[in-house]
Chain A
Amino acid sequence: MERTQRFRMTPARREALWAYGLISPWIIGFLIFTVAPMVTSFAMAFMEYNVIQPARWIGGANYRNLTIDPLFWQSVKVTFTFAGMSLIPSLAAGLVLAMLLNAEIPGLSVWRTLYYLPSIIQGVPVAILWGFVFNKRFGVLNWALALFGIKGPGWLASPQWALPALAIMSLWGVGGGMILYLAGLQGVPTTLYDAAKVDGANGWHRFWKVTLPMISPVIFYNLVMGTIGTFQYFTNAYVMTDGGPDYATWFYNLYLYRNAFYYSKMGYASALAWVLFLFVLLLTLLIFKSSAAWVYYEGQLKGGRG
C-alpha cells in the first residue's frame, strides 16, 4: 500500500520531478566539482602529497609552516598592498568618469565606448602590451612622462616600481566600473538633487549627501568583487614579472600556483587555498558588516529591492 502511494504521480510530484530533472546537471556538478573537491582539499591541507608518492598525514604542519614562511608573508603583503594601490584609484577614477559622462554632454555613447574599449582586451595580449608600455627605454609611458619633464623609472625591472606599475595598468580597466557607476548615477532621482538645491546645497554637498549615498551599493559591490579579484590575480603577475623583481610582485595566487604545479607540494598549496578562502571570507564579511554604516539601500525606505 505504501508502495503504490509513493509511486502515484500527482501533479505536485510531477512538478518536483521536472524541477530536479532540470537542475540535476548543476547538482551533479556541484557534488563532483565543488563538494567532493572541497572535502578532499580540506583533508589534503593536513597531508604531504606530491602526486607521485602516496599522501602522508602530517597534521597541522602545513599551517604551522605557513606562519614561518617568509614567501607566504611576502605574498600576503604584496596582495594587500596591491588591493589598496589599485582598488581605491580605480574606484575614484571610475566614479569621476561616470559623473563627467552623466552631465548630459553630447556624444555619451561614443565616450562610453572609448573608455570601455580597453577592458575588452584581456589576458595575455594585454600583459604583453603593457610589458612593453612599461619599457624604460622605448615604452610609451616614459615617453608620456617625458612630455611633462619627468624621467620615468624602470617600472617592471625595479623592485620599487613593479607593483605600482601593475596598479597603473589596472586603471586601464576602469571602463567596467565606470559603466556600473554611470548606471547607478542614472538611477538617482533628479527630485533629490532639486530638493537639495532648494535647501541650498552646493555641488560639493550634493555629491557627498546625495550622489555618494545613492550609489553606495554599487561602490560596495565593486569593492567586494575587487578585493576577491586581487586574491585571484594571476596572469599579469605570471606573464609580466613572474613574481619579481626581488619578490616585489609575489602575488598570493602566484605562490599558490608555484607550490601546486612547480614544486608539487599539493598539501601545502591546499593549505594556502584554505587560508585564501579565509581571507576572502573575512574581507567579504568585514565589508558586509561595515556596509550597514555606509551603504544606503533605497529599499530601506520603499521596502524590498529588486
Chain B
Amino acid sequence: MGSEAGLFARQTETATIRSRRIFGLRPGEFLRKLLIEALLVLGAVAVLLPLVWMLSTSLKTMGQVGVYPIQWMPDPVMWSNYPEALSTIDFALYTWNTVKVTFAGMAGVLISCSLAAYGFSRFRAPGLNVMFLLLLSTIMLPSQVTLIPVYIMFSKLKWVDTLKPLIIPSFFGNPYDIFLLRQFFMTIPLEMDDAARIDGCNPLQTFWHVIVPMAKPALGTVAIFHFMYGWNDFFNPLIYLHHRENWTLALGLQGFRQVYSTDTNLLMAASFVAALPCILLFFFAQRRFIQGVVISGVKG
C-alpha cells in the first residue's frame, strides 16, 4: 500500500515538473537549444546564400543581373538561359568525355584497389608487410614529385590529347583506397573465408562471393569519392587534353568563362548543370558520403 502512495506522489511530482516544461525541456535548457537553433539558422543562411544566388542569377536576364540591390526573384524567369548556356559550348560532348573518364577510372580503381586490398588483408607472404609499409609511405607523397616525368612518359607514348592518361593509371591502384579497403576487409571475419574455402571456392571466388558482398559499404564509399574526383578534376585534364573534342566539363566550363566572361547568367546556369550530378549523388547517397568522410578522415 505504501508503495502505491509513493508511486502516486511521484506521479504528481513529475506532472508538476512537466507543467513547467516547454516541449519537455526545462526553461533554461529550452532557451539554450533555441539559441543554438537560431545560430544554426544564421549560419545556414550564410552558407546557402551563394547557392541560392547562383540559381537566381542563372534565371535572370543580363540586365537584371546587374540590378542593385539584388532582386532575388527573377522577373521574367529566363528558363531559356539553360538551353542557351548548354548550346553555347559543346556541353553534351564534354559531358560524355567526363562520363568516360569518371566511370572508366572508377572501374579501374574499384578492381585494382579491392584486389590489392584483398591480397594485403587475407594472405601471408614473405615481404608483404614491407610492401604494405611502402604503400603507406606513398600516401603522403605529393603528386608534383612524379608529375613531370609521368607527363613526359605519356607524351612519348603519344597519349597526350587522349583520355588515356586520365584513365589508365587508375587500373594500377592507389595507396589511399587500397589502405581504406584493406582496413575494412580486416573487419570481415576470417571464418567466412574458411567456410567458402571448405565449400570449394578458390581465392578469387571467395573474394567475389564473400568479400565483395560484405564490403559493399566500403566499395560504395570508394566509388563515390572517385566519382567526385573524376568529375571535378581540373588539373589533369588541363595538362593532358588540348583539343576541344577531348575536353571534359571542367575544361569546357573554363573555356566558356574565358570567352563569355560577362555572361554571368549563362555561366551560372552552365556551372549549376555541371555540378548537378554531384549534388544529386549526394542527395541519393547522403549516408555513404557522411560515413565516407568519417572513415577516410578518422581512420586515415
Contact = CB atoms under 8 A, between A and B. Distances in A.
Given A30-B138, A130-B50, A18 B123 contact: yes
B90 interface: no
Contact of A100 (B36, B148, B249, B282): B36
A26 B297 contact: no
A92 interface: no
What are the nearest 6 A-B pairs in CB distance?
A29-B172, A22-B119, A123-B232, A16-B125, A19-B123, A37-B146
Nearest to B296: A180
B138 A133 contact: no
Given A26-B172, A118-B47, 14 more contacts: A26-B178, A38-B146, A105-B33, A116-B293, A124-B234, A125-B272, A128-B271, A137-B66, A140-B50, A143-B69, A172-B50, A183-B297, A228-B142, A239-B257
B271 A235 contact: no
B87 interface: no
Interface stretch (B1-9, B73-81, B273-281): B273-281
Nearest to B124: A15
A72 interface: no
A274 interface: yes
Given A125-B271, A132-B57, A261 B239 contact: yes
A138 B286 CA distance: 34
B153 interface: yes
Contacts of A260: 147-148, 151
Contact of A15 (B44, B123, B275): B123
Contact of B142 (A97, A118, A238, A273): A273
Contacts of A269: 148
Interface of A: 12, 15-23, 25-30, 32-34, 36-38, 40-41, 44, 51, 97, 100-101, 103-106, 111-118, 120-126, 128-133, 137-138, 140, 143-144, 146, 172, 174-176, 179-180, 183-184, 218, 221-222, 228, 231-232, 234-235, 238-239, 253, 256-257, 260-261, 266, 269-270, 272-274, 276-277, 280, 284, 306
Contact of B293 (A25, A125, A180, A256): A180
Contact of A111 (B40, B112, B144, B299): B40
26 contacts: A15-B124, A25-B173, A29-B112, A29-B173, A30-B134, A37-B149, A41-B147, A123-B234, A125-B232, A125-B253, A128-B253, A128-B271, A129-B268, A132-B268, A133-B50, A143-B68, A180-B294, A183-B297, A184-B298, A235-B235, A239-B234, A239-B254, A260-B147, A260-B148, A277-B141, A277-B145
Interface in B193-241: 203, 228, 231-235, 238-239
Contacts of A113: 286
Interface string B95-110: 0000000000000000
Given A33-B146, A40-B149, A114-B44, A26 B234 contact: no
Interface in B136-189: 138, 140-153, 155, 169, 171-173, 178
A266 B293 CA distance: 36
A133 B53 contact: yes
A104 B37 CA distance: 11
A118 B271 CA distance: 14
B116 interface: yes
Interface string B254-289: 100100000010011001101100110010001001
A22 B126 contact: no
Interface residues of B, number: 92
B17 interface: no
Contacts of A106: 37
B157 to A, nearest CB: 11
Contacts of A124: 232, 234, 249-250, 253-254, 257, 271, 274
B37 A280 contact: no
A23 to B, nearest CB: 4
B226 to A, nearest CB: 13
B214 to A, nearest CB: 17
B115 interface: yes
Contacts of B68: 137-138, 143
Given A124-B253, A128-B253, A133-B53, A273 B120 contact: no
A51 B156 CA distance: 10
Given A27-B131, A115-B44, A15 B125 contact: yes
